């Protein structure tokens, strides 16, 4: 499975990380059971906040480490904007770019 990248720091994340985050939120934070709605909201949160959207990333720095990461983060943000909810499309495009 291809990775998705943080739109702020370009950290690669397995697409399953979103599902793992939802599982955590449901079991430990008592969030609602409407999985599709919660998944849609988490994707939007990840697109906007980057790594900070994940509860286990609290207080972790979310800034590009170098110029290459800055470029990758910018491209990730542009692809999220262009593809909307299609994470598979974003991951595929990033893989096609060699990331």
2-60 residue pLDDT tens: 899 999 999 999 989 999 998 888 877 776 678 888 888 999 999 988 888 888 776 66
Instruction: Look up the pTM and report it.
Output: 0.81
Domain count, the chain: 1
Helical residues (DSSP H) of the chain, grouped into ranges: 16-29, 35-49, 67-83, 87-96
The whole-number pLDDT of residue 60 equals 67
39: Cβ contacts below 8 Å, ≥ 6 apart: 18, 19, 22
Q: What is the pLDDT of residue 1?
A: 63
CA distances from 48 to 7, 28, 51, 73, 91 (A): 7, 23, 9, 12, 17
Q: Would you call 64 exposed, middle or buried from its count of C-beta atoms within 10 A (0-12, 13-18, 19+)?
A: middle
Q: Which domain holds residue 36?
A: 3-96
């Amino acid at each position: 499975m291809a990775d998705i990248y943080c739109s702020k720091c370009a950290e690669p994340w397995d697409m399953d990380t979103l599902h793992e985050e939802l599982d955590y939120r449901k079991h430990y934070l008592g969030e609602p059971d409407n999985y599709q709605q919660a998944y849609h909201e988490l994707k939007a949160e990840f697109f906007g906040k980057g790594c900070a959207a994940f509860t286990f990333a609290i207080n972790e720095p979310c800034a590009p480490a170098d110029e290459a990461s800055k470029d990758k983060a910018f491209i990730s943000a542009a692809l999220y904007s262009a593809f909307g909810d299609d994470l598979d499309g974003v991951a595929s495009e990033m893989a096609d770019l060699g990331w």
